[in-house]
Amino acid sequence: MRKPHEDLREAVLAEAGRLLEVEGARALSARRLAAAAGCSVGTLYNIFEHLDGVVRAVNRETMKRLAAALAEADPGEGAGRAARLEALGQGYLAYGVANPARWELLFRYRLDTPAEALPAELSTLLALLRSVAGPGPSDEALIALWAAVHGVVELAVARRLPNAAEGAEGRMIALVIEAGIRGLAAEGFGRDP
Amino acid sequence: MRKPHEDLREAVLAEAGRLLEVEGARALSARRLAAAAGCSVGTLYNIFEHLDGVVRAVNRETMKRLAAALAEADPGEGAGRAARLEALGQGYLAYGVANPARWELLFRYRLDTPAEALPAELSTLLALLRSVAGPGPSDEALIALWAAVHGVVELAVARRLPNAAEGAEGRMIALVIEAGIRGLAAEGFGRDP
DNA sequence: TCCTCCTCTTGAACGCCGTTCAAATTCAGT
DNA sequence: ACTGAATTTGAACGGCGTTCAAGAGGAGGA
């Protein structure tokens, strides 16, 4: 019932995760992956066609983990919508800072095959955002809020913030979320639970 | 008066820019650069020590161009501060979309030497932002606004926006800037010309 | 048992990469 | 013309993604 290589496929992905965490995104090469998983490069290419495929699979897993981390950070429906959004933003920052290699693969890896660069699991995140914001705000506004928060995290993870902002990432997230909430309010943020 | 290699150095940087624009960031390799500039790889390494050095030099030039593009987009002191900020945001987006290879080198290239990843010329941009926003807002708030806008542009350039946001980048920039202005207002945005 | 046929695996090979360095070249000063 | 220092060269090293001819393995029939 299960495809021939499925065990090996999972072993490869597990080793990919290990390599990423221990040695960073640079270490994720076909040869090292094959060696770590105990097969030859040729077999790796039988399973994945291109290295892009490994990255995409890792990214799907990363998205699941990110969604889980955000669900964890979410104080839940008991808390106010504003507090929940703030918590989600801080959770997004925390996940990125804690997993720079996965973050890099997810957002900075150059995928040659143009097919959706972000895994479809992104919709899970947007759905969570939607459930917190209520049905009022447009998709565009929600995605803009995500992108704004993402900008802070991306610059923080890539170590591209000016010195003046060092250590202020959390406060900057709070500022962006606060402003975003005011912007969303004009679109009916929080109406209709 | 001029250092021994300065002519060659400039030739290399000019060819680097050409390679970037014509063939993208992948084409910027030591061998291709040396061939294009008419010298050997060894000489390239005499001038730049590492390829990182070439990237850093290109990034300084990119920052200058970006600053010039923003100065061009700025309607000037005659316009309102809000209109100016909006124009700067749209200019930032336009530059990124028009120069994806330079953008990639500036914000996504993995620099091994940790020295400030962003060229010091970034301060020019922040100074422009400061001059438009007035002395009220804190550095943190201004950098947060920049980061928020940056997030939209980065996701757009990296083609990592969900389909729902395709073609809506300009409107998303407008949303982020509007919300940012409201946030900055609390910090005295626009007081004291 | 042996022989076929088909699938899966292997690792050497290709052309690229960043980087190094011994040797060749260049050239100013004598 | 010669010397000595500075500069340039390109082959070499180890690593990369990717391909593919050759080999290994096993299922089914004789």
Asked if strand D comes closer than 7 Å to A4 Cβ, the answer is no
pLDDT at B114 over 80: no
Is residue B133 exposed (0-12), middle (13-18) or buried (19+ Cβ within 10 Å)?
A: buried
Instruction: For residue B124, give the amino acid letter.
Output: T
Asked if strand C comes closer than 7 Å to B4 Cβ, the answer is no
The predicted structure's pLDDT at residue A191: 57
Nearest CA distance, B4 vs chain A (angstrom): 33
- pLDDT tens readout for residues B148-178: 999 999 999 999 999 889 899 999 999 999 9
Kind plus residue range of the DSSP H or E element containing B82: helix B81-98
pLDDT at A111 over 60: yes
**Which residues neighbour B93 within 8 Å (Cβ) at sequence distance 6 or greater?**
B149, B152, B153, B156, B169, B170, B173
Looking at residue B79, what DSSP letter applies?
S
Mean pLDDT rounded to a whole number for chain B:
92
Instruction: For residue B118, give the amino acid letter.
Output: L
Angle between helices A122-133 and A139-157 (to 10 degrees): 120
Average pLDDT over residues A50-72: 97
Question: Cα torsion at A158, A164, A170, A171 (round to 10°)?
Answer: -150
Q: In chain B, what percentage of residues exceed pLDDT 70?
A: 94
pLDDT at A189 over 50: yes
Average pLDDT over residues A32-48: 96
pLDDT at A11 over 60: yes
Which of A26, A175, A187 to mutate: most B Cβ within 10 Å? A175
Enumerate the nucleotides of strand C whose atoms come under 7 Å of any protein CB: 7-13, 16-22
Among A47, A10, A16, CA closest to A33: A16
A110 CB near a chain B CB, below 8 Å? yes
pLDDT at A37 over 70: yes
Average pLDDT over residues A46-65: 96
The predicted structure's pLDDT at residue A131: 94
Rg of chain A (C-alpha set):
19
Q: Is the distance from CB of B39 to CB of B8 less than 8 angstroms?
A: yes
Chain B residues within an 8 Å CB radius of A143: 161-162, 164-165, 168, 172
Transcribe chain A into DSSP letters.
Answer: ---TTHHHHHHHHHHHHHHHHHH-GGG--HHHHHHHHTS-HHHHHHHHSSHHHHHHHHHHHHHHHHHHHHHHH---TTS-HHHHHHHHHHHHHHHHHH-HHHHHHHHT---SS-S-SS-TTHHHHHHHHHHHH-SSS-HHHHHHHHHHHHHHHHHHHTT-S-GGGTT-HHHHHHHHHHHHHHHHHTTTTT---
Q: How confident is the model at residue B3 (pLDDT cuts 50, 70, 90)?
A: low
Closest-CA residue of B relative to A109 is: B108
Enumerate the nucleotides of strand D whose atoms come under 7 Å of any protein CB: 6-12, 15-21
Q: Is the distance from CB of B164 to CB of A137 less than 8 angstroms?
A: no
Q: Which of residues 4-43 of A touch B (CB under 8 A)?
A: 25-26
Q: In chain B, what percentage of residues exceed pLDDT 90?
A: 79
**Which residues neighbour A22 within 8 Å (Cβ) at sequence distance 6 or greater?**
none
The predicted structure's pLDDT at residue A144: 97
Look-up of token digits 């957002």: A107
Instruction: For residue A26, give the amino acid letter.
Output: R
pLDDT at B1 over 50: no
Q: How confident is the model at residue B116 (pLDDT cuts 50, 70, 90)?
A: confident
